[in-house]
Amino acid sequence: MSMPRRHPPRPSGARSRLLRIWTLAVVLWTVTGCALGPQPPATPTIPADAPIFSDQWARPAPAGGNSAIYLTLHNPTERTVRLVAASTQVAQATEFHETVKDANGVMRMEPRAQGFTVAPGATLELAPGGKHIMLLNLQQPLEVGQVLSLTVTLEDDRGQVTTELSVPVQEGPGMEMGDMEGQGAMEEMGDMGEMGDMGEMEMSAGAMPADALEPQLSAAGLFRVTARPQIDPVTVGPIHSWIVHVEGQDGTPVTGARIQVSGGMPAHDHGFPTVPRVTQELGNGDYLLEGVKFSMAGVWVLTLEIAAGELQDTVTFQFELK
């Protein structure tokens, strides 16, 4: 005699629904977990609308020349913000620069590779005669009325954020030769090859034979220095190189020297429109000085601060592009 087959009791309705929900949750977790895998934590960024850009504009300039962008950046956050990068397709390179007055009272432009810092609640002004964004080797002309796109990157202790700015091209404010801001602006414009209307001053004139400079003794007589431009004649406009030769008191070529470059036009209280620097030691006491440019006719000075071992001295060349 066979015993009747017993079936397990069916779960109640509430229990059955709970079981189905639990089973569905396990399936979904398994499927999505396998498909997506572990998810990386979100990268913190600065809110894109926190810092406020305004009043941006760029100077007009020809293709192959340089230009500058100016703007205002307000930081309403409670963190220090840094403007660390800028780029645009209209220029081969973009750099942060600042026009400053050195210890000799000469205005000169200096690169700011680390960008610019804006304290909490502060405002950064990029303006003619001061901080600015330099556009180097323009790939197309910038004409009044055009609008270019500038990509800028901001950074704080939480990370970086990138945003796009529309920058109109327009003429800059007028300049007075006696005004410090105007002098800095003139320097920037000199670097762009765009000197504007300076009255009776003829910017395209000015030249000097390449062999016009005599060798000079440094201020303390520690070095005898020769500076030879690599173009002849030396004229207003083109960026070119010089060869600097340094000898000791006994005529022995000085090797391993460190040379800092400054100068400009003392009569007009401004420096070089570019940032000349010694980039290479050529041997036998010769050094390659690159990035020299003269933006106008007149009297210029070139000052070299030379350090070799324990010896330090300064030599200045004065010359005129007529």
CA atoms within 13 A on the CB side of 293: 22
Tell me whether residue 187 is in a domain: yes
pLDDT of residue 205: 56
Counting the structural domains of the chain, the total is: 2
Output the domain CATH number for residue 284: 2.60.40.3340
Q: Are residues 242 and 314 in the same domain?
A: yes
Q: Are residues 140 and 234 in the same domain?
A: no
Last residue of a domain, one of 163, 192, 221: 192
Total-model pTM: 0.47
Q: Are residues 169 and 281 in the same domain?
A: no
Q: Are residues 164 and 62 in the same domain?
A: yes
pLDDT of residue 284: 95
Q: Are residues 211 and 187 in the same domain?
A: no
Tell me whether residue 215 is in a domain: yes
Q: Are residues 86 and 180 in the same domain?
A: yes
Mean residue pLDDT of the chain comes to 79
Q: Are residues 213 and 284 in the same domain?
A: yes
Q: Are residues 63 and 178 in the same domain?
A: yes
Q: Which domain holds residue 271?
A: 207-321
Q: Are residues 232 and 282 in the same domain?
A: yes
Dihedrals phi, psi of 29, to nearest 5 degrees: -65, -40
Is cis: bond before 233, omega within 30 of 0?
yes
Q: What is the pLDDT along the chain (322 residues), one digit of tens a residue?
A: 555 555 555 545 545 554 454 555 444 444 444 444 555 544 445 454 578 899 999 988 888 778 899 999 999 988 999 999 999 999 988 999 988 876 766 667 788 989 999 999 999 999 988 899 989 888 999 999 999 999 999 999 989 999 999 999 998 664 333 333 444 444 455 444 433 333 333 333 578 998 889 999 999 999 999 999 999 999 988 999 999 999 998 999 999 999 999 988 877 767 888 889 999 999 999 999 999 999 888 889 999 999 999 999 999 999 999 8
Q: Are residues 59 and 100 in the same domain?
A: yes
Q: Are residues 151 and 227 in the same domain?
A: no
pLDDT of residue 184: 46
pLDDT in tens, 89-117: 999 889 999 888 767 666 677 889 899 99
SS3 labels along the chain: CCCCCCCCCCCCHHHHHHHHHHHHHHHHHHHHHHHHCCCCCCCCCCCCCCCEEEEEEECCECCCCCEEEEEEEECCCCCCEEEEEEECCCEEEEEEEEEEECCCCCEEEEECCCCEEECCCCEEEECCCCEEEEEEEECCCECCCCEEEEEEEEEECCEEEEEEEEEEECCCCCCCCCCHHHHHHHHHHHHHCCCCCCCCCCCCCCEECCCCCCCEECCCCCCEEEEEECCCCEECCCCEEEEEEEECCCCCECCCCEEEEEEEEHHHCEECCCCCEEEEEEECCEEEEEEECCCCCEEEEEEEEEEECCEEEEEEEEEEEC
